[in-house]
Amino acid sequence: MLQLISATPSPYARKVRIVLAEKSIPFKLVTEVPWDSTTKTPLHNPLEKLKLPFLILEDGTSVYESYCILEYIEAKFPGTTPMLSQDIDEKLFAKNVEVVVDGLCDALVFLFFEKRRAQGGQSEEWKARQMRNGRHVR
């Protein structure tokens, strides 16, 4: 059975969980804290403690980065409900939306961690840069 290794609040893991559910693909959800000393993430992801989710396949190999996981699922399970149109223009539009939303999620995650720094250690320039992300999306 597939195993999705995820951190509970991860928006990237959430989109993978949604696709697995929409396609009725059974999987086991394993919650991981990637910065914890007991993490198993480095065993399956060369980006070590930095990136979740990743999908452990039945043969023990893994797929990491949510967009790669989604492409794998779409290709590996063709008999299930397709998540993307076969029309190239519609597919490109959907992929562009995915990139923008992922970028906005990245900015929010960066802001979250920046605000956890001590007051004197926060970068106002860095926070302002993250807040500018997505302003010109049409």
Neighbours of 14 (CB within 10 A): 15
pLDDT tens figures, 4-56:
998 877 888 999 999 999 999 999 999 887 777 777 777 777 765 567 888 99
Q: How far apart are the first and last CA of the chain?
A: 40
| pTM given for the model | 0.78
**Count of residues for the chain?**
138
CA angle 18, 46, 25 (to 5 degrees): 25
Single-letter code of the amino acid located at 89: D
Closest CA to 57 of 68, 47, 32, 49: 68
Chain-centroid distance of CA 27 in Å reads: 16
